[in-house]
Amino acid sequence: MTEFKKSTAMSTQRILISLFIFLLMPAIRFLIRNWIGNDTLALMFALNFCVWLLIIYDWELFGLHWLRAKANIPDTLLYSFIGMIVIFIWTYVDLHFLRGTVLLPNPADIRRYPIAYPAVIIAFSFSLSALVNITFKCVTDHFKMHAGEAIMILISGFLFGFVYTICITPARPALFFPTYLYNVILICALSYLYNQTHSFIPGILAMGTAYLILTILILF
């Protein structure tokens, strides 16, 4: 029987605080949006702020995964590329068919603020990707990922996909299910990349690059 088991030294307290930082994102977005009346700029600030807070708090974890990726560059590049293609295609399917919520900028919100473009592009690509991947790793840290890998990948997708969906979906039931489906497959893809490389760096590069391309296409 597949079992959950500690696989790293992360404490429950550290996992919960990392999750709390992730869940700060929608709260900060809401507060700033009500203050400045611009959702894209509010989300930009929330993503960039929360990801750096999370990286600083989990710096040792980030460094460990960076060293793992650096020690096996061929696999890191290969699975980053594969993941980028899969995530780009899946996100394209969502945008044109599923119509679930995907965190991408609204060009109308920032047309009058060209100085904000670099920060927006970073926020909606690699900041979002790092925030999702690091938090996903923290939440599933006590899972024994190499016992029944396919089952663990699915459980990871359903569990963290639900957390991520609750975090980003407006309070409209019609949006929840397509967004949840999109996020389950997205997180399963990230979980697969982690399983193959033992690092969340390929997941960050794959999702970040796919979202970078989509963000640039949307803005320009």
Average pLDDT, the chain: 92
What are 4's strand-pairing partners? 143
- Number of separate domains in the chain: 1
Q: At a CB cut-off of 8 Å and minimum separation 6, what does 61 contact?
A: 10, 134, 137, 138
Domain extent for 63: 12-219
| Predicted pLDDT of residue 144 | 65
Residue 5 in domain: no
Residue 120 in domain: yes
What are 143's strand-pairing partners? 4
Phi, psi of 99 (to 5 degrees): 65, 30
Residue 56 in domain: yes
More confident residue, 9 or 81: 81
Write the pLDDT tens digit of every residue in 92-139: 999 999 999 999 999 999 989 999 999 999 999 999 999 999 999 999
| Average pLDDT over every residue of 185-199 | 96
Write the pLDDT tens digit of every residue in 129-184: 999 999 999 998 877 655 578 888 999 999 999 999 999 987 778 899 999 999 99
Write the pLDDT tens digit of every residue in 20-54: 999 999 999 999 999 999 999 999 999 999 999 99
Confidence of residue 5 (pLDDT cuts 50, 70, 90): very low
| Predicted pLDDT of residue 170 | 76
Residue 2 in domain: no
| Predicted pLDDT of residue 6 | 38
Which has the closest alpha carbon to 40: 96, 123, 99?
123
Q: At a CB cut-off of 8 Å and minimum separation 6, what does 103 contact?
A: 43, 47, 124, 128, 168
Contact (Cβ atoms closer than 8 angstroms) between residue 107 and residue 218: yes
Contact (Cβ atoms closer than 8 angstroms) between residue 61 and residue 130: no
Residue 3 in domain: no
In whole angstroms, how far apart are CA 148 and each of 145, 151, 153, 190, 196? 7, 5, 9, 17, 14
Confidence of residue 7 (pLDDT cuts 50, 70, 90): very low
- CA dihedral angle for residue 199, residue 125, residue 131, residue 32, rounded to 10 degrees: 170
Write the pLDDT tens digit of every residue in 59-87: 999 999 999 999 999 999 999 999 999 99
The Cα 124–Cα 168 span in angstroms is 13
Residue 112 in domain: yes
Residue 4 in domain: no
Confidence of residue 3 (pLDDT cuts 50, 70, 90): very low
Contact (Cβ atoms closer than 8 angstroms) between residue 95 and residue 102: yes
Residue 155 in domain: yes
| Average pLDDT over every residue of 187-198 | 96
| Predicted pLDDT of residue 142 | 76
| Predicted pLDDT of residue 146 | 52
3-state DSSP percent of the chain in helix, strand and coil, to 5: 80, 0, 20
Q: Is the pTM of this model over 0.85?
A: yes
- CA dihedral angle for residue 120, residue 95, residue 211, residue 35, rounded to 10 degrees: 20
